């Protein structure tokens, strides 16, 4: 597909310094002007000052200017204004106020990480050695930004903006309240959820394997049990392992590994998932605060507008 990556997110938070400390602990490398970098994706998170926590901007990679022109025509057909630059296209999602920036940039290049060798019944892949996952001593550093989950008060309009306007494709649905949308070969890069207020539910960050999901979360929780939200488990939509934590502003951040990859649209059939199956395949049940974050009422009373 002409879109090829979720390049970065900008998140507004009331206390930038406290939130920055959290994401440094999470394994993102601090840089200039509020940016944080992953190992393979470069600068992928920016923190800015805002009265309440919110998703300010998404940047999405495109192959060439023609891809921007096509997106501009689709947005125009939806009645959505867009600002066209030499290598960028900027449009606002009206319901949530999120700024979407399509930008011409190279595709992400990730070095191949050898698969972890796991022993199993009748299959010995690792003999005479301890599992590599228990021998790793270096801190976990995410490889790249995977996706963002956005709550909206108008599910149809926000879904149409990303799908029919920007050109995302549908991977799976959660009834008529959730749309897993992709702008790359990853199963999803944006999940749009029906909600009583527009808000950022979580961002998700790729690590090498399930051992690093567990190691990263364990390190984050050491001395900070209040950061725990939900995990360890495996999702059904996307199939990925997960563990969710919470930053000081109230945003959730997910370590993930083993995400479904869709290389050929014709070989993938979207499902409409119902009930708990749309959330997870195995693991502890999600806590009420995951389904309805504790600060949702406060966000509703202090709802912002662009």
Per-residue DSSP letters for 19-76? HHHHHHHHTPEE-STTEEEETTTEEEEEEEE-SS-EEEEEEEEESSHHHHHHHHHHHH
User: What phi and psi, each to the nearest 5 degrees, are found at residue 95?
Assistant: -75, -45
Predicted pLDDT at 304:
45
Per-residue model confidence (pLDDT) at position 222:
98
Question: How far is the CA of 296 from the CAs of 32, 47, 89, 201, in angstroms?
Answer: 31, 20, 32, 10
Q: The tokens of 96 are what?
A: 């949530």
pLDDT for the residue numbered 195: 96
Residue 305 is predicted with a pLDDT of 41
Please tell me the distance from the alpha carbon of residue 226 to that of residue 246, in angstroms, as a whole number: 8
Integer Cα distance of 105 and 147 in angstroms: 18
Phi-psi sector, 33: left (phi>0), alpha (psi -120 to 50), beta: left
Q: State the number of CA atoms in the 13 A half-sphere of 299 facing the CB.
A: 26
Torsion of CA 66, 39, 97, 247, to 10 degrees: 170
| Residue 113 CA, distance from chain mean position | 21
Q: So what's the pLDDT on residue 101? A: 98
Distance CA 133, CA 119 (A): 13
**pLDDT tens digits for the chain (306 residues)?**
789 999 999 999 999 999 999 999 999 999 999 999 999 999 999 999 999 999 999 999 999 999 999 999 999 999 999 999 999 999 999 999 999 999 999 999 999 988 888 999 999 999 999 999 999 999 999 999 999 999 999 999 999 999 999 999 999 999 999 999 999 999 999 999 999 999 999 999 999 999 999 999 999 999 999 999 999 999 999 999 999 999 999 999 999 999 999 999 999 999 999 877 778 999 999 999 999 999 999 999 875 444
Q: Give the containing element (helix H, strand E) for 155.
A: helix 155-160
The single-letter DSSP state of residue 164 is I
- 154, two tokens: 């108008």
Q: What is the rounded distance in angstroms from the CA atom of residue 11 to the CA atom of residue 193?
A: 18
Domains and CATH numbers, the chain: 3-107+142-301 (3.10.180.10)
- Contact status, residue 61 vs residue 54, Cβ threshold 8 Å: no
45 is written with which tokens? 């998170």
Beta-carbon contacts of residue 106 (< 8 Å; ≥ 6 apart): 61
- DSSP secondary structure letter of residue 113: P
């Amino acid at each position: 597909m002409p879109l090829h990556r979720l390049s970065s997110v900008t998140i507004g938070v009331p206390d930038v310094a406290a939130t920055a400390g959290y994401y440094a602990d999470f394994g993102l490398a601090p840089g200039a002007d509020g940016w944080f970098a992953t190992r393979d994706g470069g600068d992928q998170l920016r923190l800015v000052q805002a009265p309440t926590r919110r998703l300010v901007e998404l940047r999405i990679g495109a192959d060439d200017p023609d891809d921007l022109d096509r997106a501009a025509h689709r947005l125009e057909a939806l009645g959505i204004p867009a600002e066209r630059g030499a290598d960028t296209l900027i449009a606002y999602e009206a319901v949530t106020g999120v700024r979407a920036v399509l930008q011409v940039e190279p595709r992400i290049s990730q070095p191949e990480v050898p698969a972890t060798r796991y022993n199993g019944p009748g299959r010995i892949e690792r003999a005479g050695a301890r599992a590599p996952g228990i021998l790793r001593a270096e801190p976990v550093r995410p490889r790249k930004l995977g996706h963002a989950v956005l709550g909206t008060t108008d599910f149809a309009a926000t879904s149409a903006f990303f799908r029919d306007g920007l050109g995302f494709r549908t991977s799976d649905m959660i009834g008529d309240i959730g749309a897993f949308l992709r702008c790359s070969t990853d199963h999803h890069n944006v999940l749009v959820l029906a909600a009583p207020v527009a808000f950022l539910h979580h961002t998700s960050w790729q690590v090498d394997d399930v051992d690093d999901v567990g190691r990263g979360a364990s390190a984050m929780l050491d001395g900070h049990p209040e950061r725990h939200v939900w995990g360890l488990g495996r999702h059904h939509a996307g199939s990925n392992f997960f563990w969710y934590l919470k930053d000081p502003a109230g945003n959730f951040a997910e370590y993930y590994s083993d995400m479904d990859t869709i290389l050929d649209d014709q070989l993938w059939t979207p499902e409409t998932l119902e009930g708990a199956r749309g959330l997870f395949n195995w693991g502890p049940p999600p806590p009420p605060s995951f389904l309805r974050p504790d600060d949702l009422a406060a966000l509703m009373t202090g709802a912002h507008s662009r």
